[in-house]
Structure 1
Amino acid sequence: MAKRKQVGKRVEGWKAKSWYKVYGPEAFGKAHIGDTISADPSKVMGRVMQTTLGEISQDYSKQHIKMRFKVNNVAGDAAYTEFVGHEITRDYMRGLVKRKTSRIDTMILVPTKDNKKVRLTISCFTINRANISQAHAIRETITNVARGQAAEMSFDEFSKAVVSGDCAKEAFKMVKTIFPVRRVEIIKSKVETPVVMAF
């Protein structure tokens, strides 16, 4: 028969752990995004926290925007994070798709002014169905707008523009001059982590 673990030791281990308040980066107002527990502050580093833009901004019309932040600094009982990506919920995306229209996806890697690389998935929803050449022109326009904006902004500025929809609005303005479109959305972003080579 297996020996039962002593409950006392488990309680002592739990008591040895401390709670840390986790805050978003300055670009998102250093909002409190949650709490995490650990016995060792170094183990809090690198943890990824998820929340929504609605929770951060107290604007619940933005609950469909899921955001991810990674802890990169711990000071006392506070943990500070950096933005590592966002994604639009599937339910929200389903509501954007209409019959007899086109959804044109563009996937690109763009470097910011301070040389951070962000992978974007951008969807364009048209009013009428687009043919192959029109879809190609739309993708090219969206790519040029996203690259141009990223090159002019710091990573913090660009991540905020991506999540707030400002970057998508700029793309929409340019695309609608070449084809009737209903909406442009950056449905996903992911910050690319540099690969460290081991020797």
Structure 2
Amino acid sequence: MAAKKKIGRKIEGWKAKSWYKVYSPENVGKVYLGETVSDDPAKLIGRVMTAPLSELVNDYAKQNVKMKFSITEVAGDAAYTSFIGHEVARDYIRSLVKRRTSRIESIVNFVTKDGKKVRATVTCFTLTRADQSQQHLIRKVISEDVVKYGTENELGVFVNAIINGEISKDTFRKVKELYPIRRIEIIKTKVDLPKIQK
């Protein structure tokens, strides 16, 4: 009898919950991300949703990139999100590492034009092994270029520039003038959103 009562309470609890459709931000196409359930829409605020970039832009080549969003607004049965970061799959990054070359990583912090605090991790893959002074110079150019772009633009513009590769291409051209490189990737970002009272 006790077991039956427990099952009954569980079913009743689910009946009290509602499903909400979750969407990506407008600057990322306001794409349907999936559904989530809650007994109170206020409890959805801050909930994190993830999706492969390939699904957002309909490009299978971008399946190695995971986008992260946090629910910031609920209207009816729809939940809207803000971008809070992205990350490139580690297996994919490892596949880009070649023998007798250098992988140079830079971590930069900046505040976007619309006041969002961002931390970005940028990785550069060289064609030949770079010495310490060359790596230092490459990091300097990458850091300056990414920070300049980030501070001069709003977060939405910065995110789109990651998606379409604009920042990586621009930085690649500048670094290539100093040292032979194969690729530059912004492999990870994290956005600090202000805490929202639920």
- TM class by shorter-chain length? over 0.9
Residue 129 of structure 1 deviates from its aligned partner by 0.5
Q: Residue in 1 aligned with 2:108?
A: 108
Q: Could you report, residue by residue, the CA deviation over 1:55-91 in whole angstroms, capped at 9, with x for unpaired residues? A: 1112111110001000000000000000000000011
Counterparts of 1:148 and 1:138 in 2: how far apart (Å)?
A: 15
Counterparts of 1:118 and 1:178 in 2: how far apart (Å)?
A: 27
**Which SS does the other structure have where 1:106 is aligned?**
strand
TM-score under structure 1 length normalisation? 0.93
Q: Which portions of structure 1, spanning 4 or more consecutive aligned residues, are displaced by more than 4 angstroms?
A: none
Q: Residue in 1 aligned with 2:89?
A: 89
TM-score under structure 2 length normalisation? 0.94
**Which SS does the other structure have where 2:99 is aligned?**
coil
Q: Residue in 2 aligned with 1:140?
A: 140
Deviates more, 1:161-170 or 1:12-21: 161-170
Is this contact kept in 1: 2:84–2:193, CA < 8 A? no
Residue 8 of structure 1 deviates from its aligned partner by 2.0
Counterparts of 1:131 and 1:122 in 2: how far apart (Å)?
A: 19
Counterparts of 1:122 and 1:68 in 2: how far apart (Å)?
A: 18
Counterparts of 1:193 and 1:130 in 2: how far apart (Å)?
A: 37
Q: Residue in 1 aligned with 2:174?
A: 174
**Which SS does the other structure have where 1:4 is aligned?**
helix
Is this contact kept in 2: 1:104–1:139, CA < 8 A? yes
User: Structure 2: any 5+ residue segments left out of the alignment?
Assistant: none
Q: Residue in 2 aligned with 1:155?
A: 155
Is this contact kept in 2: 1:106–1:139, CA < 8 A? yes
Counterparts of 2:73 and 2:152 in 1: how far apart (Å)?
A: 27
Deviates more, 1:98-107 or 1:184-193: 184-193
The residue identity in structure 2 corresponding to 1:34 is G
The residue identity in structure 2 corresponding to 1:16 is A
Q: Residue in 2 aligned with 1:4?
A: 3
Q: Could you report, residue by residue, the CA deviation over 1:23-71 in whole angstroms, capped at 9, with x for unpaired residues? A: 0001100000111001110011110001110011121111100010000
Counterparts of 2:186 and 2:110 in 1: how far apart (Å)?
A: 13
Counterparts of 1:193 and 1:35 in 2: how far apart (Å)?
A: 22
Matched residues, number: 195
Deviates more, 1:6-15 or 1:176-185: 6-15
Q: CA RMSD in A?
A: 1.6
Percent pairwise identity: 50
